[in-house]
Structure 1
């Protein structure tokens, strides 16, 4: 059985204060490092125009590329190097949807679940989501990408704002768990047909709404170095532990600890750091 994580791989420019660095990014990229350590029976499926990006993954043999005519590009600017909770983002808003026909020949025969990581609302058309629901396995989905829309154009990119999405109710219906932060929750509300809502709030911790509400304290991190991909790391750690232990509280506490470990170092999570 295999856990299948699907979503774009990106080319990112990260600006912290006056320092700039170029990185491979995207939720599926950051999550693959967590799965590689804690749920090694996984497959990452990414859409992009540059297959060389796969070489940056922890195990390129566990990556399948859907070649498109563009690649997602993000600029992540942290204007205050002493407060990495504040981030300004812009993107090229690549329109490179993942279609059912892209997936039919590359999905494994036996699947534990799907992890869907849209970076904008073009990535997963509703027809693709309905196709994945037909497998009748758990689906874990990040909400943020569906809410991203272009705002002010800056050169070839657009600043990002979050807005509700008309198809969101249909897309989320029947999904096992959705992942979002408090600001995103304030946009879409909580009236969705999902089993779990995992709601993060940075250094203030997280809460998980299922039959009731479980509050998860953030693990205190005195040495914050790089928060890019922290939410993606939390999501992958939560899913890994939830599939193994079946416990919401165990999964939340584990995810909080792994997210703390990630932000103490540059780049994706690694147990070797």
Structure 2
């Protein structure tokens, strides 16, 4: 079952306390490490200006780069080392849309499901979303990027604020699962034509809303080292289980466990 995972790869600056580190990032990047372990039949498609970023993925043969004129850049600041749920984030808000014609040249011949990971509302124009839906396969979408708008500007980067998107109903209509956190859920509400909403809440766990609501407890970490990419890791682990036709409660518990393991080490999920 070929899974196509699409979204930007990023250049990130991570600041925990006063300690800085430069990294590769983006949901598609973090998720590829999970799929490499639990769903090997995947392909990653990323948009950026630096083809060399593909070398950081766990399997370079599974990555296709759509070259653009810019790359998403993020600064993630965690001011309190003892509470990594609190993050201050800024970005360059790169405008590098993934177009229908980009995908026509990049998609594999067989596609059984899509995962879409926008980092801002420019990444996936409506025409691209409609093209992806036309394949009539399951579509899993991270909502966060569609809600992000620039706020204060400092040295070419912008702090992020969240606002509802007037075209969000069109974007989400008919998709299989949407993924978001509690803050985002409070902005967009709960009424959409989707099979389920998977809502995360950091160390407080998550919930899965469909015809009913399932509460998933967080798995306690022995040592919280790095929470960047935790939500992306949860999303990929959940999807991997759903593609195996596991029930929501099992998929959510598995995702919580994998996200917890990721948090205990720096960088993306590593089974070792």
User: What TM-score range do you get, normalising by the shorter chain?
Assistant: over 0.9
What SS does the aligned partner of 2:13 have? strand
What SS does the aligned partner of 2:251 have? helix
What SS does the aligned partner of 2:186 have? helix
Equivalent residue for 2:85? 85
Q: Deviations over 1:94-151 (max 9, x none)?
A: 0000000000122112112000000000000010000000000000000000001100
Separation in 2, partners of 1:57, 1:192: 34
Return the TM-score normalized by structure 2. 0.99
Equivalent residue for 1:181? 181
Report the count of equivalent residues. 272
The runs of 5 or more residues in structure 2 that have no matched partner are none
What SS does the aligned partner of 1:111 have? coil
Equivalent residue for 2:40? 40
Separation in 2, partners of 1:245, 1:187: 30
Equivalent residue for 2:190? 190
What SS does the aligned partner of 1:85 have? coil
The runs of at least 4 consecutive aligned structure 1 residues that moved more than 2 Å come to none
Shift of the alpha carbon at 1:31? 0.1
Q: Deviations over 1:177-231 (max 9, x none)?
A: 0000000000000110000100001111110011211111110113100000000
Separation in 2, partners of 1:59, 1:211: 38
What SS does the aligned partner of 1:245 have? coil
Shift of the alpha carbon at 1:49? 0.1
Does the 8 Å contact 1:10/1:26 carry over to 2? yes
Does the 8 Å contact 1:148/1:161 carry over to 2? yes
What SS does the aligned partner of 1:44 have? strand
Equivalent residue for 2:166? 166
The runs of 5 or more residues in structure 1 that have no matched partner are none
Residue 186 of structure 2 corresponds to residue 216 of structure 1: no
Does the 8 Å contact 1:242/1:250 carry over to 2? no
Separation in 2, partners of 1:190, 1:104: 33
Equivalent residue for 2:227? 227
Equivalent residue for 1:207? 207
Separation in 2, partners of 1:169, 1:257: 31
Residue 148 of structure 2 corresponds to residue 145 of structure 1: no
Shift of the alpha carbon at 1:245? 3.1
Separation in 1, partners of 2:195, 2:265: 33
Larger deviation, residues 98-107 vs 28-37: 98-107
Q: Deviations over 1:10-33 (max 9, x none)?
A: 000000001000000000000000
What SS does the aligned partner of 1:244 have? coil
Shift of the alpha carbon at 1:246? 3.2
Return the TM-score normalized by structure 1. 0.99
Separation in 1, partners of 2:35, 2:53: 18
What SS does the aligned partner of 2:253 have? helix
What SS does the aligned partner of 1:130 have? helix
Q: Deviations over 1:21-67 (max 9, x none)?
A: 00000000000000000000000000000011111100010000000
Equivalent residue for 1:113? 113
Separation in 2, partners of 1:129, 1:248: 25
